[in-house]
């Protein structure tokens, strides 16, 4: 019977969850604080940890990092309110197995727990040097896994990562949204001498400027309204490791001054405290805007820009690495198969052609979402064009005499035939796609002798 440690300070909710899990054949221990959880972990062995994101004496993410260092074999699932879902997603990138949103859906709770335990078993089996008739499926790859492309742009990127990783230089990663800037940062961390310490990722665009000092440097209980307990900031959490600041251009001018001072002095002072704390961290930042232009316009401090830009790395867009497209598509398919418990073999030739002629404005993030959605919808062995979103047929490059734009001003006959194929000959849907009435479509079918 799998044993679960539940860490939750809401006692009535905790007891309710305990009863639910026991009823579903799990052995459960409960802890109402981080200190109780630490004691429990020392004295008992667990198969899974379920922790609330907000605890009276700690932060769920910091506690998770602590447990991942001391007991890396135990999967950790975060429980979070809807307002904290973005934080939970970030936590998954730092090692959490999954998260569950409150209020709970009982089926979702059981599914997430089952998947986390199953993935852990599969990882352990894959590490056991025993010959098996059929190799165990490895657990789904994490968001942070760096995929080596084969394009010139990818090879240049890899060279730069390998060159700068062993140093302590501050790195600025520049690239469009969705190009995998955080994955590059994580890869640099994993190849550095800091790899055994924390990698803390912060979305600067998600921090209100009034709370930035508290988020970065922490605060003492009672230092401001709402500070109900001591809080450790990102700088202290990343001590000895790497602090990744995503979309740094979104920081207010005041917050930029606070950040610059901390980077120059390598000391921080929590809000409400007179005591300075020494921090040893490496800074990696990322932006999808031109910070040099922001410096010229007076929106970004020049001294901070030079401080964070000891070495810059360009994160190439997907359209700049054509040869990598299907390498990434296959990787995301393998990942989606694991996450959705599917066995899709690959992509049909038509889908490969559509992918290669699409502009990918959302870059790798869009490709991953597209492949995951298509994997979910696919019933056969191969992903076919009928499970692709409609935008793939509206913004294609010129291909086989059809531009992909469902406009009747050019390639009229080809557009109609393509729309009919796309909608499996459903004339009402084809008319919607072509943005004409069904009556007009029937007239056009007659005009071009299309059956």
Ramachandran quadrant class, 243 (left: phi over 0; alpha: psi -120 to 50; beta: rest): beta
Using CA atoms, how far apart are residues 405 and 319, in angstroms rounded to an integer? Answer: 19
Contact 217, 271 (CB under 8 A): yes
Task: Give the per-residue pLDDT at 248.
Answer: 94
Q: Structure pTM? A: 0.59
pLDDT digit string, tens, across residues 165-179: 999 999 999 999 899
At the fourth CATH level, the homologous superfamily of domain 3-127 is Response regulator (3.40.50.2300)
DSSP bridge pairs for 31? 7
pLDDT of res. 398: 42
In the chain, ranges of CATH 3.40.50.2300 domains: 3-127
Which residue in 136, 55, 153, 139 sits closest to 338, CA to CA?
139
Q: Provide the β-strand partners of residue 276.
A: none
How is residue 49 written in tokens?
């940890």
Query: Contact 32/11 with Cβ under 8 angstroms?
Result: yes
Maximum C-alpha span of the chain: 84
CATH hierarchy code of domain 328-447:
1.10.8.60
pLDDT of 255 higher than 90: yes
State the angle between helix axes of 85-93 and 60-70 in degrees (0 to 180), rounded to the nearest 10. Answer: 20
CATH 3.40.50.300 domain residues, the chain: 152-316
Query: Is residue 17 very low, low, confident or very high in pLDDT (cuts 50, 70, 90)?
Result: confident
Beta bridge partners of 4: 28, 48
Cβ neighbourhood burial of 110 (10 Å; 0-12, 13-18, 19+): middle
Calculate mean pLDDT across residues 352-366: 90
Q: pLDDT, tens digit, for every residue of 76-99?
A: 998 877 556 666 666 776 678 887
Residues of the chain with CATH 1.10.8.60: 328-447
E-strand stretches of 218-292: 242-246, 267-268, 277-278, 282-287
Helix (H) or strand (E) segment spanning residue 45:
none
| Pairing label, strands 242-246, 199-203 | parallel
Instruction: List, in sequence order, every beta strand (DSSP E) within 301-384.
Output: 311-315, 346-347, 382-383
What pLDDT, on the 0 to 100 scale, is given for residue 416?
84
State mean pLDDT over 423-451.
Answer: 77
SS3 (DSSP) at 20: helix
Average pLDDT for 265-289: 92
Sorting pLDDT into bands at 50, 70 and 90, what band is 363? very high
């000959």: which residue's tokens?
A: 425
Q: Does domain 152-316 have CATH number 3.40.50.300?
A: yes
Residue 400 confidence (pLDDT): 44
> Which candidate, 215, 141, 201, places its Cα nearest to that of 173?
201
| Nearest Cα residue to 172 out of 286, 256, 315, 292 | 286
Tokens of 420: 């009919």
CA distance 200 to 239: 10
């Amino acid at each position: 019977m799998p044993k679960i440690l539940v860490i939750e300070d809401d006692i009535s909710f905790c007891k309710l969850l305990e009863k639910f899990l026991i009823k579903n054949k799990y052995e459960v221990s409960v802890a109402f604080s981080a200190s109780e959880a630490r004691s429990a972990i020392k004295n008992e062995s667990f198969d899974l940890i379920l922790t609330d994101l907000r605890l009276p004496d700690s932060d769920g993410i910091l506690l998770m990092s602590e447990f991942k260092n001391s007991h890396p074999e135990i999967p950790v699932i975060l429980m979070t309110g809807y307002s904290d879902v973005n934080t939970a997603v970030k936590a998954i990138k730092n090692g959490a197995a999954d998260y569950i949103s409150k209020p709970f859906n009982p089926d979702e709770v059981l599914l997430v727990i089952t998947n986390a335990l199953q993935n852990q078993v599969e990882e352990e089996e894959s590490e056991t040097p025993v010959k098996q008739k059929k190799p165990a499926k490895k657990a789904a790859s994490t968001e942070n896994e760096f995929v080596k492309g084969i394009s010139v742009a990818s090879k240049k990127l890899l060279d730069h990562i390998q060159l700068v990783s062993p140093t302590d230089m501050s790195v600025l990663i520049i690239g469009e949204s969705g190009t995998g800037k955080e994955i590059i940062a994580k890869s640099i961390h994993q190849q550095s001498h800091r790899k055994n310490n924390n990698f803390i990722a912060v979305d600067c665009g998600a921090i209100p400027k009034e709370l930035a000092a508290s988020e970065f440097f922490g605060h003492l209980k009672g230092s401001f309204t709402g500070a109900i307990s001591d809080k450790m900031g990102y700088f202290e959490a990343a001590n000895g490791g790497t602090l990744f600041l995503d979309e740094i251009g979104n920081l207010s001018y005041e917050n930029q001054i606070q950040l610059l001072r901390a980077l120059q002095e390598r000391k921080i002072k929590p809000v409400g405290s007179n005591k300075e704390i020494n921090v040893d961290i490496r800074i990696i930042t990322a932006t999808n805007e031109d910070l040099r232009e922001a410096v010229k316009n007076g929106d970004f401090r020049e001294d901070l820009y030079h401080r964070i830009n000891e070495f810059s790395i360009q994160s190439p867009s997907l359209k700049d690495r054509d040869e990598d497209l299907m390498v990434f598509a296959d990787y995301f398919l393998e990942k989606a198969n694991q996450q959705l418990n599917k066995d899709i073999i690959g992509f049909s030739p038509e889908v490969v052609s559509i992918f290669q002629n699409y502009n990918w404005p959302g870059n790798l993030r869009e490709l991953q979402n597209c492949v995951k959605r298509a994997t979910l919808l696919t019933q056969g062995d191969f992903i076919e064009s009928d499970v692709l979103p409609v935008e793939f047929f509206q913004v294609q490059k010129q291909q086989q005499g059809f531009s992909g734009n469902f406009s009747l001003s050019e390639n009229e006959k080809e557009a109609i035939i393509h729309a009919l194929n796309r909608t499996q000959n459903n004339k009402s849907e084809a008319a919607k796609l072509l943005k004409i009435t069904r009556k007009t479509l029937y007239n056009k079918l007659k005009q071009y002798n299309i059956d």
